[in-house]
Amino acid sequence: MTDAFIEEARTVTVGEAADRLGVTGLKRIATGEEAGPCPVCGGTDRFAVNRLKNAWICRGAGEGRDGISLAAHLLGLDVKRREDFLAACAAALGRDVPGEAPESAEDRAARDARLAARKAEAAAASEASEREANAFREREIGKARGKWEHAVPIDPHPEPVEGRGSMARASAGGVSPVLRQAQDEGNPRSAVRAYLTGRLGGFALPVLPFARAIVDEAYWHGTDEGGRPVAIHSGQAMVLPFVDAGGAVVGCHLTWLDARGRKGRPDLVDPATGERLATKKMRGRKKGGLIPLIGFLEIEGKILPDPARTRFVCGEGIENVLAVAVAEGARGDTIYAAAGDLGNLAGRAEGRFPHPTLKNRGGKAPLRVAGPEPKAGEPADAAAQVPKHVSEVLLVADADSEIVATGAAMMRAEIRFGAEGRTVATAWPPRGRDFADLLAAREVAA
């Protein structure tokens, strides 16, 4: 009878056990899973049930593919012990073990006490982890803010470079004379201005009150044999702040400069793999923040969008947005800002769709791409926010990224930024280019 009872319990699915044991508070997500706080460990989304795959997982405790293991997890039972294993089978089926004496009040009280202790330990560990994460986050924000605050303002004069367009072409081929001269003189203020002017094809650089320069910034990548961080490069860098909706500096964006490198940036490679490394990094917090370029005011230590400007131009990269500002004459009614990356511009997606041509790593199934609809229920500060007084938005796309994923992301951004009746449009450069490329090539950018 017991063997038959166990075999019957093995047929109970994860979904049936979850319903029978009263698991609640889970939300269906794009993968078809139901995710949320673990009934035992807590958290926010560490627990998930997948009814289609007949599986459950708790990132803090384990996983399983049947109703028995789920019952054992939820009730604090050790399936290596006969009594606990049978109790898990009974809970999964919703009835007592045949031929066995029902669980005594003392045994039930002991089991409840073990489960309560387990929950208390998990809650304490979760609180400690959250405190540590918050402390780390605040330290990183402080370091990022310090980098920007202790940097020097760039040369403010918005004069064009002699021989417009020549600097950009020289930079693409290797050496930018103006940037090289500034770096040779050890003048980071002029080096940053020369870099940006070169990226904008030699056109006059608008006044950028929040762009600053660092004399010597280390580029940390990897660790040595003792686990200590290693600096693989050090040199002049441009730094701009990330500001949240309240105007507080919560992060910074760094761009390393090198007149000998492509586009005026150093050629950095991973010493171990030879892989090319990004010449830009973000420190502190970027999520929900903006990089203020033009049309922001510093008021009592806060960097806030000018309330008199009702038009907003925003894109992923600093240079791409500045190129649009130059092309349209840095309009006096417009706030110009960068989001830092596509994820912060567009926000998370509600579901995924198969890419029309690209395959996954196995090469058999289509690569699944984040969809064009914003994720429901996301908080406002989960991605870059448009100033509330703005009525018109121009999003600046970057067409040198993969077009399908970028297109879906820009659609999400349009939906998010178009809330509250705003007019939203997206400007696309030609395939494989960005607007800074157009200026650098001395083409007409409209």
What pLDDT digit, counting tens, does each position of 279-331 carry? Answer: 999 999 999 999 999 999 999 999 999 999 999 999 999 999 999 999 999 99
Give the best-scoring range by mean pLDDT among 34-48, 111-125, 309-323, 373-387: 309-323
| Tally of residues, the chain | 446
**Please, what is the average pLDDT of the chain?**
87
Q: Which residue is it, tokens 């121009």?
A: 394
Q: Cα separations (Å) of 162 from 178, 203, 205, 321, 440?
A: 9, 9, 13, 23, 14
Cα separation, 176 vs 263, in Å, equals 9
Question: Percentage of residues in the chain with pLDDT exceeding 70?
Answer: 90
For the stretch 167-181, pLDDT in tens is: 434 444 334 677 888
**Where exactly are the structural domains of the chain?**
2-103, 150-284, 286-446
Alpha carbon of residue 39 to chain centroid: 28
209 Cβ contact partners less than 8 Å away, ≥ 6 residues apart: 153, 156, 296, 298
pLDDT of 389 > 80? The answer is: yes
Identify the CATH homologous superfamily for domain 2-103: Zinc finger, CHC2-typedomain (3.90.580.10)
Question: CB under 8 Å to 333, separation ≥6 — which residues?
Answer: 308, 309, 310, 311
From residue 205, alpha-carbon distances to 85, 185, 279 in Å are: 72, 21, 22
> What count of other Cβ atoms lies within 10 Å of the Cβ of residue 284?
24
- Please state, in angstroms and rounded to a whole number, the distance separating the CA atoms of residues 350 and 379: 14
Dihedral, 345, 346, 347, 351 alpha carbons, nearest 10:
-160
Q: Return the higher-pLDDT residue of 411 and 172.
A: 411
Q: How far apart are CA 239 and CA 256, in angstroms?
A: 9
Of the two residues 27 and 427, the one the predictor is more confident about is 427
